[in-house]
Amino acid sequence: MITAKMSLADIVKQYPQTIPYLNNLHLDYCCGGHMPLDESFTDGSIDLTSLINELNNIASQPVPQNKESVESIEDFEKLSVNEMLDNLEATHHVTEREMMEQIEKLLNKILIVHYQHHGAELTKIHNLFARMKAELEEHFAKEERLIFPLMRSNHHPDKETLELISELEGEHVDVGDMIKEMQELTNNFQVPADTCVTYANTFKLMKDFVEDIFVHVFKENSITFPEYAEQ
């Protein structure tokens, strides 16, 4: 049962089938997402009662719409910390690196083709994506080469490793902020009417990429890192 005392991260941990609904509402369950609902939405932007009702409704449905990602999170939770780290590297790190290469090329292409009518917004999107890609590549390298190896070898977390993990969490917040900026710039990846198939494909791929990042960061922040710290 979902209540106002739970955070979005708690909700997704217990009911991963709520992810598509939260994505549609652009609610951050991964990079921020750690405050109880009744403390997060104090500005009245969200009707808390209907949000909780709808989440409970989705949580009670027998077959989730996102069956695959639900299973991926449920299976992930059963792994040991070392297996989780291997899994993160073999799945999200690989897929997201490939997606970033493709998006970079596509963005450059639509920037040139649609410069005349959409140059202003595409320049900003192209630039922000380049910064996001650089940050993420450095973040993945830091995880793979420095912090995950330390976590694998120090089964009893020491102060230094825990401090490095909180650096990673800080970087996740930065990525979350860039994603929000990207959602605003692209009007949540809505394709302008006067454009082309490549434009639509680029935005679709960017949306898929962002959703993959959300699951990836959620697994690290809300499953792997707490599990490691408790060892």
Q: Please give the residue ranges that form the binding site for Fe ion (CB under 5 A).
A: 143, 220
Write down the H helix ranges in 156-220. Answer: 159-185, 197-218
Task: Kindly state the smallest distance separating residue 167's Cβ from Fe ion, in Å.
Answer: 10
Q: Tell me 155's DSSP state.
A: S
Smallest distance, Å, CB 107 to Fe ion? 23
Looking at beta carbons only, is 122 or 223 nearer to Fe ion? 223
User: What stretch of H or E contains 84?
Assistant: helix 81-88
In which region does residue 187 sit, left (phi positive, over 0), alpha (psi from -120 to 50) or beta (all else)? left
Identify the helix (H) or strand (E) that includes residue 19.
helix 19-24
In whole angstroms, the minimum distance from the beta carbon of 175 to Fe ion comes to 8
Q: C-alpha angle 223/225/229, rounded to 5°?
A: 115
Nearer to Fe ion, 174 or 184 (CB): 174
Q: Kindly calculate the radius of gyration of the chain based on its CA atoms and give it in whole angstroms.
A: 19
Which one, 8 or 37, has the nearer CB to Fe ion?
A: 8
Question: 3-state DSSP helix/strand/coil percent for the chain, to nearest 5?
Answer: 75, 0, 25
Shortest distance, position 89 Cβ to Fe ion, whole Å: 8
Closer residue to Fe ion, CB minimum distance, 119 or 226: 226
Which one, 10 or 220, has the nearer CB to Fe ion? Answer: 220
Q: Distance between CA 161 and CA 213 in Å, rounded?
A: 23
Given a contact cutoff of 8 angstroms between Cβ atoms, the answer to whether 26 and 188 are in contact is yes
In terms of CB distance, is 10 or 143 closer to Fe ion? 143
Name the minimum Å distance from CB 139 to Fe ion. 6
Residue (of 40, 58, 67, 30) closest to 223 by Cα position: 30
CB of 142 to Fe ion, least distance (A): 9
Q: Which residues contact 209 (CB under 8 A, 6 or more apart)?
A: 96, 99, 100, 103
Q: Quick one: 124 or 142, whose CB is closer to Fe ion?
A: 142
**Sole residue written with tokens 């910064």:** 131
As measured in angstroms, the least distance from the Cβ of 225 to Fe ion is 9
